[in-house]
Amino acid sequence: MTSSETENGCAGGERGESDVIVQTCVLGGFSESVETRALISSLAEVHGDTVTTESATQRFLVIMNRYQEQPHLLDPHLEWLLNMILEFIRSETSPPSLVHLSFKFLYIICKVRGYKIFMQLFPHEVADVQPVLDLLSRQDPKDSETWETRYMLLLWLSMTCLIPFDLSRLDGHLESDAGKAREPTMDRILTIAKSYLVVSDSPRDAASVLVSKFMTRPDVKQKCLGDFLDWSLTTISQTNDQSMRDIMVLDGALQSLAKLFKHGKRDDLLQYAPTILKCLEQKHLSESSQAMLRKLGAKLIQRLGLTFLKPRLATWRYQRGSRSLAANLSMSQSTTAIAEMETQEQEEDYDIPEEVETVIEHLLVGLKDKETIVRWSAAKGIGRVTGRLPKELADEVVGSVLDCFSFQETDNAWHGGCLALAELGRRGLLLPSRLTDVVPLIIKSLTYEEKRGACSVGSNVRDAACYVCWSFARAYEPKELEPFVTQIANALLITAVFDRNVNCRRAASAAFQENVGRQGTFPHGIDILTAADYYAVGNLNNCYLNISVYIAKFPEYTKAMIDHLIAMKINHWDGVIRELATKALHNLTPQAPDYMATTVLPQLLPIAGGIDLHGRHGAILACAEITHALYKLGLQTNRTVVDIISSECVDALKNIHQKLQDRKQYRGFGGELMRLAMCGLIEKLSLSKMPFKNDPVITGWQWLIDDTIKTLHLFSSGAKDGIMIAVVSALSALCEEYYQAQPGQADSEMQTVLVSQYTEGLKSPQIPTRCGSALALGCLPRFMIHSKLKQILEGLQQMCIVSQKEGNFTEARRDAVRAIAQVCMKAGVCASGSTDSALCSENVAEVYGVLLNSMNDYTTDSRGDVGAWVRQAAMTSLMDVTMLVASSAPEILLPDLVKHMMCCLAQQAAEKIDRYRAHAGNIFLHLLHSTEPAVPHIPHREELLNIFPVETTTSLNWNAPSQAFQYITQLLGLPQYQYHTLLGLTVSVGGITESTVHFSSQSLFDYLKGIQDNSAALSQFGDTLLSIFRDNLRNERVSVPFLKMLNQMLANSCFEIFTTQENHQFCVDLLTLCKEIKKSKDISKLRACVAVFCGLIQFQGEVRKKVLSQLLMLLCHSFPVIRKTTASQMYEMLLTYDDIIDPEVLDDVMTLLSDTNWESDFATVRPHRNQLCDWLGVPRPQVVAKNLAQVS
């Protein structure tokens, strides 16, 4: 179980996560043994080269890291892996680089398998001691590149230290050849160990392992143990945790002592333990700023505590029996009886050293540390030490641990307390008699949450509490936990379903599963586990809205879940949780309707008028949801909601608005939440048909809705959309219930007031107010629209047309376009009806005109192509209106309207933004394949059905350029669609997104190749191309991509058939239009124009001279970058089309173009340009006064 503070589970992530779990569990063995052998064998060849060394190391890392989760799979192969690598290390011919690389490979294996297992495989004969020692002595402790070598050598030395001979036997004659005394082996090892305990890299950890093995040898402990401990204590005393160097030294000393006291014999170490404890107390490690030092302090202190106490198992501990089920079943009755007698024997009396109390105090302080690693170490220490104490003292320790669970303590203390209780329970040290004290604290811990600013802490406490429940399930017999089953089951399920943090939900689910399996007493355990397993609880919405309903079907859990939501979740700091909690209450109401009506609602209403903002918000929404749920239940028994809930509750619900208004709680930051909550209340009470018709409260509610729309611009940007949706829903429900004079007939006064007010709001200077007004008009019920349709449509249309011309109020235009469709859908269609009451032959053209005009909204601002919002809304609205008209009065759907609509959709389906292309494509296919009703007058219907068979409605992915463009380019062959499709393709082919450009241009060129032999089709395509160019000459959005597309077409010889004719009209017209572009001041447009001029050179006749003339003029353009670009493009052009000028001057022209610095001033470049004119036979351009700045 993890202790993360963040929630990282989500619906979308479940599948991916499960896949990962499956992948990591499918490994059945070490499958890369052949590749690994080859890789290790190749070390002798690759070691000298950095690139090959790194490549081999990375590959080995990838292979080994696959087994990080299942390292035991490597066990059968570790021996040959080690032997192969040791051959390189032991070989006298191996260069240092090969030795270091070999140790790096050894370290990778050791890291995956763990040093405790791996180091046991090292050879540890007597003959190995000296070579390992010599090799280690030759290493440079400061070489950061070879630390793996030193790390592995220290581990190897740790194993060779275990030889069962006195080390003095290895020394022989201590005089060397030079007559100088050699250092004894024991001293050499000790010196090396000490030197590596103070380094700053990983070999320090290996050195502490060496110390623990070396110092516990019988010969070494007699001679060196006392001195080493003195050295360690001196080191600890003389350092502080302020400098990094001292921190590393302290770390090494503490690590070595902790491991030494773990592996050493109690008899050897007991005499030194009080001195070490005293030194640690003086050091005050628990106050250090370094978490690792505090953790090592806790680790060492618990080892000292275990040294003070005799190593024995407490006879008083609670034992459930063997972990093995088979062993439990086979155990005879007599064995059980003997065990019971043994537990009743009196404990052997012996004095507990007073130092133990100090140890326990330090560990209890460690439980409250701010770092998890320290708390976890202290919790394990508490468990270990308590296991050796007499029953009375152990019970005092348990009492001290329980003191952590005070509301004066921080979340760290609660977390540490949970970890300690889990350890005590796991070890059988928490006797069943203590469960009455412990279980209530664990129940509190399962819902522990403490608000800190804008968020909260406590998810680690809840996670640890789940671990406690998990450990209790394994530790106690069912009969011991039976009195607490209901409490534990309820608390675990509440956490599993309603906790905000995904780790806690999953931990609670696992703990519940463990209890169901091992205790067997949890009500409906198997059924609930099936619904609330590890994966199901990963999705928060699913937990609150579905799983909770399933669990609440079992009466044991219903009220506990409802009470938890009321007490803890409707006032939660996270708004998402509050809203989910209220929806959950709505869904749970059918399970306990009487409880909701008589207990829960009266509890919520005071909170709804309370001082806590979050509580108020949640309570108002909860009242709304519960009332609506009770109303729906009443329908089944023909009872009204007033019959179900008391009159006091009805009055209290009615008075909430007035209370908030009197207290001015609609203002400021809290006002956002209050307005949101009240709109939810208005909607739900209206839907519940509360008897408030003609009551003053309706006027108050309407004021709130109108005031919110007028002041939307004052709210934070994140809240605006949510408030707008809530306001519109509230208005719709309010009108439907309270503004009908008679069924189907509006209250004429309110109708006039509201329609006038919202149409006037469409002219507001504030965008949110315009949006709100448009959506308000769109949500009005049919009877409110009747006789006001003309006024509403005129207001919406006028706002769309004016704001589109001015290029502002984009969001308002989007909402107005949506509202037009909503109004039309509600008003209905009547071919010969009045324009004031229905969509008819007289106003259908106007509606389509606005929607089709909105399809050409390409407004941009700092956010990008914001007009796309309007286009998307227009597409959806067109589809809705078209399907409505086609089903009711297809005769008023004029062919021109349908043609224009389908052409506009084809254009959008060919454009560059994937999302909007997909939206247009799907609508295009929906209208094409619709049969009930069928859309009349679709141009080229048969050809379209051939291009888009019915299966493409599901199989074609319009989001993928690789699929979409191969279909949409086929529309270029249909005359009525050609212009708009090519216009859409222009921005895709001439765009900047690589994938879109690639696939769109490929599909376009495939189409053009298909019509190369059809001069009529190619001419028609050319005319369409020119029409687009002509129409968008001044349109930057189209003209630059168009020139880029044209350049690609010319480069791909798409108009080769035209180049065979002199002065072809296509080229003449194109040149004329490009001359207009040349006058632009836009660099990107001019560069694209230069490229097109260079492509036009392939056309024959007088037009070629004109193209050359234009290019030569651009060589003296006022922008130096254009002069340089033109020269470069002309050079490439002459390389490509080397037959267009006289071969005698070709070399001179190429040389002049390449050698001249065209970014120089006019005086320098003009003579060169004029020389080119003479060589190419083109008249020199004359300076014209008005164009002096442009062309020279």
pLDDT digits (tens, 9 = 90+) for 705-720: 999 999 999 998 888 9
Dist. CA 497–CA 548, nearest whole Å? 6
pLDDT tens digits, residue range 288-317?
A: 888 999 999 999 999 999 999 988 887 888
- Preceding amide of 936 cis, omega within 30: no
| Structure-block tokens of residue 1147 | 């070399």
Query: What's 184's DSSP letter?
Result: P
pLDDT tens digits, residue range 441-460?
A: 999 999 999 988 878 899 99
Whether residue 176 has pLDDT greater than 80: no
- 1038-1056: average pLDDT: 91
- 476-494: average pLDDT: 93
Identify which of 905, 875, 1082, 1087 has the alpha carbon closest to the alpha carbon of residue 983: 905
Dist. CA 307–CA 27, nearest whole Å? 43
Confidence class for position 1183, pLDDT limits 50, 70, 90? low
- 367-379: average pLDDT: 94
Q: How far is residue 820 from each of residues 22, 132, 203, 796, 854, measured CA to CA in Å? A: 51, 86, 74, 7, 12
Q: What is the pLDDT of residue 1187?
A: 45
Taking phi first (over 0 means left), then psi (-120 to 50 degrees means alpha), and beta for anything else, what does residue 349 get?
Answer: beta
| Structure-block tokens of residue 1151 | 């040389």
Q: What is the pLDDT of residue 735?
A: 95
Whether residue 20 has pLDDT greater than 70: no
- 767-783: average pLDDT: 95
Predicted model pTM: 0.82
CB-based burial of residue 847 (10 Å sphere; 0-12 exposed, 13-18 middle, 19+ buried)? buried
Q: What is the pLDDT of residue 19?
A: 40
Q: How far is residue 742 from each of residues 748, 750, 786, 918, measured CA to CA in Å? A: 11, 13, 14, 45
Mean of the per-residue pLDDT values of the chain: 89
Query: Across 34-48, 218-232, 944-958, which has the greatest mean pLDDT?
Result: 944-958
Whether residue 7 has pLDDT greater than 50: no
Q: What is the pLDDT of residue 970?
A: 95
User: What count of Cα atoms within 13 Å lies in the side-chain half-sphere of residue 846?
Assistant: 19
- 922-943: average pLDDT: 94
Q: What is the pLDDT of residue 10?
A: 42
Whether residue 321 has pLDDT greater than 80: no
Q: How far is residue 1042 from each of residues 418, 905, 914, 979, 1096, measured CA to CA in Å? A: 69, 20, 19, 13, 15
% of the chain exceeding 70 in pLDDT: 94
Provide DSSP, 341-381. HHHHSPPPP-PPPTHHHHHHHHHHHHTT-SSHHHHHHHHHH
Range from 119-123, 970-974, 1082-1086, 1187-1191 carrying the lowest mean pLDDT = 1187-1191
Dist. CA 1005–CA 964, nearest whole Å? 15
pLDDT tens digits, residue range 646-656?
A: 999 999 999 99
Compute how many other C-beta atoms are within 10 angstroms of the C-beta atom of residue 467: 21
- 629-641: average pLDDT: 93
- 1136-1144: average pLDDT: 83
Q: What is the pLDDT of residue 299?
A: 93
| Structure-block tokens of residue 762 | 């469409």
**Residue 934: what are its φ and ψ, rounded to 5°?**
-85, 140
Range from 167-181, 738-752, 1151-1165 carrying the lowest mean pLDDT = 167-181
Identify which of 70, 84, 146 has the alpha carbon closest to the alpha carbon of residue 121: 84
Confidence class for position 330, pLDDT limits 50, 70, 90? low
Q: What is the pLDDT of residue 126?
A: 85
